[in-house]
Structure formats: structure tokens, C-alpha cells
A and B are shown apart, each in its own frame.
Chain A
Amino acid sequence: MRSRFSTIAIHAVLLGYTALALFPIILVVMNSMKMKRAIFLSPLTPPGPASFDLIGYHRVFSDGAIGTYYMNSIIVTLGTIFFTLLFGAMAGFALSEYKFRFNKLLGLYLSIGIMVPIRLGSVAIISLVSGMNMINTLSALICVYVAQNLPLAVFILSEFVHQIPKDLREAARCDGLSEYNIFFHIILPLLRPAMATVAVFTMIPVWNDLWFPLLLAPSGGKQTITLGVQQFLGQYVTDWNAVLAALSTAIIPVLIFYVLFSRQLIRGLTSGAVK
């Protein structure tokens, strides 16, 4: 049993740190809805009837491109998740189901990418992508992100396939189901919870990445929201309303998503790293 005093002390520390973690975020979102004068005169007070103003958001959305950037980010993120999960589950299934000759070696080959950052190959990725005429396309980003996320996805999903009882597959084989049907109709549905976990923690780094959008799709209306906001901030650096609104536009959807899926995300982080 803890004493009353130490319980209070523990909560004080945790509350203090939580405040430190949230203060900058709240500050920005709060001030994005205020008039310029109020932003400077009373930055710490929430917007009231006298100071409420959405001029910054008007400016951000009248720029017109933000919607496109959002769409780009959504396409890239969903495309990456779809192919990472599909190819990852297929490879994970094959590696754990069939004991062919180079099984171990192939598993090792695929897992190099878990630790070695794909960024180091950027010079060659750019010449590869420009050789394929894919600069400023979203497909180039999807290809790179799938390659980046596959190793961990294969690793985690093959662990999960391993946990599915062997009898299930043997029974299906006796019933004459092909290997393809076994995978798509028996294994894949059972992998759904594991896939949700992989999806959630694949999503965040892809959505937030600045490096590859900067290298592979920096212009031509193919910017992702992260790069788009970065470029927007550079242009409007003196317009505080617009800057704060642009930041909030980038923050709020991620926060909503996070609040909805934090459980899966944290589970994914730990299952991915503990092994």
C-alpha cells in the first residue's frame, strides 16, 4: 500500500509531464481560432466571443491546394497499407507454412530492412524512380513505403500465422481446397486483428514523412500534406493566423485518428519491437 502522500506526488509528476506534452499542441490549436491582436496580447486565454476569428483557416483553405495535399496523403497512406498488408501477409504465410530449402535465408534477407533505414539508399532510389519516369507521382512514394514497411509486416504476420492451429489448414487440404483458397479464405480472415495492428503503426510514419515526398514528389500538386504544410509555412511565415491554422489543420486529423486507435497503435508498437 502506498501512502496518501506518495500517491499525490506520483499524480503530480504525471500531471506535470502530461501538461508539458500537451501545452504546445493546445496552445497552437487554441490560438489558431483567434484574431491576430488576441494571439499576441493574450496567447494563453482560449478564444472568447470577442477574440474568435477563423481568418487563418480561410486563408489556408482559399489557397486551394490543401485539399489536394490531403487527398495525396490519404491515397499514399491507404495504398501503402493495402499493399504492405497483402504482400506482407502472403509472404508471412509462405515463410511460416512451407519449409522450403531457402526459407531461413529468405526470412533473414527480408528482416535486414527492419533495422537498416531505407533512406540510406535515397541516391539510387531517385535515379531508379526518375529512370522509370515516376518523379512527382504518388505511385513512386507507395512503392518506396511498401518496401520500407514490408520487413516488419512480414515478420509480425508470419508470427501470427504460426499461432493459427495447423489442424485448420490440414482439414482444409483434406477437403480439397487449393493453397490459394486456404490463404485467402481461411488464413487472411483470421489475420485481421494482426493486420489492423500492423496497419495502424505503418500509417503514422508514412503520413508524417517529409524525406521521400521532398525527394520524390516535391511539386506538381503531388505533395503530401506534411510537405505541403512545410512549403505553405515557408511562404506565409509572417502571417500568424495562417501559420497557426495550417499547423492545426495538420494536427487535428492525426489527433482524432490517434484518440480512436491509440490502443491498437500502442499494441502494435510493443509487438513489433519486443521480439
Chain B
Amino acid sequence: MADNQQIEMVGMNRSAYLRVLAFFLAPAVLIYTLFSVYPLLATIFDSLYLRHEGGALTFNGLGNFQTLLTDETWSKPFWNALRNNLIFFIIHMCVQNPVGLALAALLSLKQLAFRNTYRTLIFMPTMLSVVIIGFIWQLILSPLWGIWKMGLNAVGLGVLFGPYLGQEHTALITISLISVWQFVGIPMILIYTALLAIPDELVDAATVDGLNQWQAFFHVKLPLIWPTIGLVSVLTFVANFNAFDLIYAMQGALAGPNFSTDIMGTLFYRTFFGNQLQLGDPTMGSTIATMMFVIILMGLLVYLYVIQRRIQRYSF
């Protein structure tokens, strides 16, 4: 019915109409299906098979997942990577997003001079390749060059200097903070835009009612930008559980020292491609990719059903 109405409106017969639809939609749908949807489904499918020596495949149900979660040789690296990834994410949530929010709050203040200059410059590291950023920080932290050491000495904290990237208990935190330094621009820009969209009258009314700048921010502006903060959180989650480049560029595929910086992305890469310690295993690689998919999906569902609903209930 709807189709016929539409054809009349456009003034074509049915086959010409279908040709038009196919012409406009086919390229996008085909390339997206072939290079994005199909590989994702094939990966999930692959994770259900077992690869034998010689390359033969047999159906294994959820056996690979059982192996991954319970077999000591697989489960240890898996839980380690998941835990590290969680720490990586928590550091982003606790440092990157609050700092981004604070910067956005300052930038959105009325009559602030040079606001666009600040915004453009602070966003700059986000533009650069993670590989470049990783290397730059490696040089800065290097005891050989000693820039960081000089900096610490200058403020009297020289004793804190150490080979951060080479120690198991500091490497992951250091890399997380470098990632935070690079990507703080994204929450900043998103929250900044949301803050600018708040009508001036609302804030003015609050100030007239006797609220000071701080109170106006926490009681008027902040509640209005919860949806944006929710979005920033879910973007952070997806990006963090999909991260790979920075660790690979700074610590290599083995995510050293002693796997202390191993996250899901590097574990996936190593399992699939193999490395000095093991041969590549495509089906276990697919199993890990599927686990990553499940984790990201759970994050998205929590966002859609819990965070967004609650926000809707509280907003007006």
C-alpha cells in the first residue's frame, strides 16, 4: 500500500521505482554488508568451530568459550586482559571525563576571551595518531633524555621518577594516563557543545534567585547535560574495549612488562596472529573477538536501557 502511494507520488511505474531504489541503495548496502556485517557474523560463526592440525574445522558449540574461560592456559591471559581493560576504562572515566567536563565548563563561561583558541589548541593532541603520541611520551619519559626527570626535579619531586613503562605496577596506569591526555578533547568538545545549547535565561533565572556560579553549574547546568555525559561514557566504553594501537605502539604485541598492559585488543591480535610464544589461532582469535563484541554489546545495552531511560525520567 505504502509502496503504491509512493510510486504515484514520484510518478513512476513499479520497475522503474525499484531500479531507482536499487541504484541509490545498492552500493552502500553491498559494501557495508560485505566488509562490515558479513565479517562480524563470520567471526561469531568461526568462534563456534575448532581448528585441528592441518586446518580441518569441526563444530565445537560453545566449547571455545569454555576453554577461554576455564582452561588455565587461556583463562589466565583472558582474565588478565579483561581486568587490565577494566582498569584502563576506569582511569578514563575517573580522569578523562571529569577533566573534560571541567575544561568544557570553563570554556563555556560567558564573555571568555580566546575561547576558540583554547578549544582548538587543547583538542590538538586528539588529532594525532596514537602511534605518534605513544612514541613522543616514550621519549619524554625515557631516562636517557630525562625530560620528565628534569620536570620532577624542578618541582622537588625527583624521587618519584622511575622507569614507569618498565615496571609492572606502573606501566598500565602510565599508558592509561597518556591515552587520557590524548583524548580529553573529545569529552571536552561534546560537553562544551551541550553546555552552549543551554538557554541563557535558565542560568540567569538561577542567578537572580541567588545561586552563585558554582551552584548554578551544579544545580542547573549539570542536570541538563546528563544525557551528554551518558553518551560520552558509552563512547569511552566502546573505544576503550576496542583499544589496541597505543599499547601496541608503546609496549609491542606482548604488552609488557610481563603482560601487565595486555588488554582485549592486544590479546586478540596476539592470539590471532601468533607471536614469539605461540602460533596464530584464527578460531580462538574469533572467540576473543566475539567476547569483545559481547562486552561492547552489554555496555551499549546498559546505556540504552538503564542510563538513557533514567535520564528520560529525570529530564523534563
Contact = CB atoms under 8 A, between A and B. Distances in A.
Contact of B40 (A25, A91, A121, A179): A121
A205 B124 CA distance: 14
Interface stretch (A48-56, A64-72, A109-117, A189-197): A109-117
B208 interface: no
Interface string B246-286: 00110000000000000001001000100000000010011
Contacts of B57: none
A274 B193 contact: yes
A22 interface: yes
A183 B129 contact: no
Interface in B121-176: 121-125, 127-133, 135-137, 139-140, 145-147, 150
A148 interface: yes
A160 B137 CA distance: 41
Chain A contact residues, majority secondary structure = helix
B222 interface: no
A111 to B, nearest CB: 10
B27 A90 contact: yes
B127 A254 contact: yes
Interface in A6-37: 6, 10-11, 13-14, 17-18, 20-22, 24-25, 27-28
A230 B131 contact: yes
B29 interface: yes
A27 B39 CA distance: 42
B28 A91 contact: yes
Interface residues of A, number: 89
A101 B136 contact: no
B136 A28 contact: yes
Interface of B: 2-3, 5-6, 10-12, 17, 20-21, 23-25, 27-29, 31-32, 34-43, 46, 103, 106-107, 109, 111-114, 118-125, 127-133, 135-137, 139-140, 145-147, 150, 181, 186, 189-190, 193-194, 213, 228, 231, 235, 238, 242, 244-245, 248-249, 265, 268, 272, 282, 285-286, 289-290, 292-293, 296-297, 300
Closest 6 CB pairs of A and B: A121-B39, A147-B35, A124-B42, A94-B24, A91-B28, A124-B39
10 contacts: A18-B121, A18-B122, A24-B140, A110-B28, A120-B43, A123-B286, A128-B34, A147-B31, A255-B127, A270-B189
